[in-house]
Amino acid sequence: MSFRPPTHTPYDGSSKLFTIGLKPLNLDSWIEVDEYLLPYLAEKRRLYAEIPGKVFVEEQTTREAQREVLDLLGAHLAANFPETHRRTDNAIEVIGGTDNLEGSGTSAPFSDAPLVAASLLVQEDLILMRRDESGWRLAAGSLCFPSSWSLIEKFGKPLQQIHAPVPGFGPGTRPADLINRMFDGLRGQAVERYNWSIQAGNALYHPLSNLERIDRASSRPSRFPDGDIDAHAFIRVERQTLRKLPVSGDILFTIRIHLDPLAVLERHRDRAALSASLAEQLLALDEAQLDYKGMTADRDRLTERLKVMAWGNNDPTS
């Protein structure tokens, strides 16, 4: 990843961790395309070939809704990104890319799934949520770039169980009830929110099962054992959107990952404000939140580095 300015900086205080933070979304801005389009798609094809069962799941009854997603994406991309996407006789393709799984080495039974085809047009991960008596459940999904969660563990589960490990969002909590009501109330208006974390390295595929999360929290290992935060720390920003599909009534949840080296803040024109805000929010996390984010062992080192970025050696809080 380059040291260009970050696309999104929700850690400036505009999108605090462990809040819902949904905002209306103009559909013209639904999907994001940047210079990393082809590398992201190449990584998706690699994951489909090597670990297909970990990055795609589906209920067979979702195929029509998957086709609806593919059609919506095709129309949106052709209209908004003619420099990267073009229509063929009966489909849409990425200019300069390979939009299918031919030559990828996979014979996965889902290779003809419309959601897979849709996922190979965009950098976003695509999750289909469907309503039944248990609530909104994860009915299908292409998740090549998970942010510390397992698609297999969440497949078929309703929102309350999906969010159970998140501090303050478990079944019966007010945030859990609010999220369900928001899903029920979603009509023609799309919404977006941001989430962020700090990880070691720039891997897009960053899974973590619930059992691994428990083991990590109990031992609380550092992710930067050599202490070189500048070399290894990356800010992982998730741009998430929700859109109700007009025909099926399912909800499409998109997740776009942006990875920026922590050191990019040092060259940012708003370096002091961004670094100070990020440090402040890390310091505000409680023990359960730190464990969930995997930052218990590294929070102090991260905040000290951010304070130096913000104020040099003249930290007003020391």
Residue 273 maps to a domain: no
Residue 1 maps to a domain: no
Residue 65 maps to a domain: yes
For the chain, 318 residues long, the average pLDDT of each consecutive 10-residue run is: 81 94 96 97 96 96 98 96 92 83 57 95 98 96 97 96 94 93 93 96 86 64 81 94 97 98 92 96 95 92 94 66
Residue 225 maps to a domain: yes
pLDDT score recorded for residue 317: 58
pLDDT score recorded for residue 103: 45
Range of the domain at 136: 15-263
pLDDT score recorded for residue 228: 81
Residue 44 maps to a domain: yes
Residue 90 maps to a domain: yes
Residue 191 maps to a domain: yes
Residue 169 maps to a domain: yes
pLDDT score recorded for residue 72: 97
Q: Phi, psi (5° rounding) for residue 132?
A: -145, -165
pLDDT score recorded for residue 123: 98
pLDDT score recorded for residue 101: 60
Number of domains in the chain: 1
